[in-house]
Homo-oligomer: A and B are copies of this chain.
C-alpha cells in the first residue's frame, strides 16, 4: 500500500495525496475528503523511510543512557520517551556502561541513524570542546552539567540540579540536626562525575560548619551500584568507623548502605541518620523511609526535550538550566541536638 495506490483509488495524482498527507491548504475540499477516506479505508500509513530520504533528515532523537542499572533514570527516560513521541519524533535509545564513551557513541548514532538531536542522560562532567567536536547535531546533557570541562558555557545545553550546592544542603541538614561526625558515601571523589560534585558539596558543608574532613568518613564504593555500596559500607564499618550520620550521594547507594548499617547492628535513625539525593519512589516505602532531596525528574525530562527540540527546530540556542530539589522528609534522620 503506497501513495500511488491511494492516488489511483481516488483518481487523483500522487502529489494531491501527498498534499493532503502533509496538510497542505491547496487541495479542493472534495479531493481532500476523497483521499482522506481512501486512506482511512485502506489503513494506509506513509512510509517514513521514504519521507526521511527525500527530506534528507529523519525524525530520530537519540538517547544515550550511561550507567544503565541506575533506577534514577527510569522515570526520566519515561518522560523523555513520552515527550519525544508526543512531538512527532522517534526515540532511539542506547545504553552504555559507565566505562564507555557517551560522546563517541552519540556521534556514531548521529551518522548511522541520521539523528536530529541527542540527549545524553548521565555522563562525565569534564568534556573539552575537542571531545564534543564529532557531534554535529544539537545535544543536551540531562541530569549533569559540565562543571569540570572547558566547554564555553553558552555552547552547550544542559538540565541538571546544582549538585554541589544540593549536596551541601543535604549535609547541612544533618548538621542542623546536631550531627558532627558525618560520613559520606560516594562513588568516587575524583571521577569527574556528579559523584565528585556531590562530594565537594560535602566537603564545602563540613568546612562551612567548621568540621574537619576525615578520610575515615569518606566511603568510596567505586560505582553507583547498590551492591558495591553495601559492600563498601560493610568494609568501613568493620574497620570501626564512627559516625552519627551518613550522607549518600544517591538514594540507591543509601539503600545499599542502610542494609550494611542494619546488619552491623546500627539502627537507623537511632544510631545513624541517613540522608541522600535523588528521590526515588521506592525510597518513600523502605524501612525506615528515606529522607532525601528529590530531583524533579518529570520536569527535567520534559525540559531536556523542550530545549533540544527548540534547537533542532531552530527556535532557540543551547540553554543551561538548573532545577531545584525538594526535601522529602522521611524517617531516616534523627535530630540529636
Q: Which residues of A contact B (CB under 8 A)?
A: 45-50, 52-53, 58, 68-69, 71, 74-75, 78, 81-82, 85, 90-95, 108, 111-114, 226-227, 230, 252, 255-256, 258-259, 262, 281-282, 285-289
Instruction: Kindly identify which residue among B50, B52, B94, B286 contacts A286, using a CB–CB cutoff of 8 Å.
Output: B286
Would you give 16 A-B contacts (Cβ < 8 Å), ordered by A? A45-B112, A47-B114, A48-B113, A49-B53, A49-B114, A68-B78, A71-B71, A71-B74, A78-B95, A81-B95, A91-B93, A92-B92, A256-B285, A259-B286, A262-B287, A286-B287
Checking B48, B258, B282 against A226 with a beta-carbon cut-off of 8 angstroms, the contacting residue is B282
The CA of A167 and the CA of B74, in the complex, are separated in Å by: 27
- How many copies the complex holds: the figure is 2
Q: How far is the CA of A108 from the CA of B43 in the complex (A)?
A: 10
A226 to chain B minimum Cβ distance, whole angstroms, is 6
Q: Which residues of B contact A289 (CB under 8 A)?
A: 259
Q: Assess whether A282 is in contact with B69, with CB atoms less than 8 Å apart.
A: no
Contacts of A47 in B (CB 8 A): 53, 114
- B residues less than 8 Å from A111 (CB atoms): 45
Residues of B within 8 A of A114 (CB): 47-49
- Complex-state Cα separation, A71 to B252, whole angstroms: 13
Check A81 against B53 for contact (C-beta < 8 Å).
no
Q: Specify which of B58, B258, B262, B285 is in contact with A258 (CB 8 Å cutoff).
A: B285
Question: How far apart sit A52 and B287, CA to CA, in the bound complex (Å)?
Answer: 52
Shortest beta-carbon distance, A244 to chain B, in Å? 19
A324 to nearest B CB, angstroms?
23
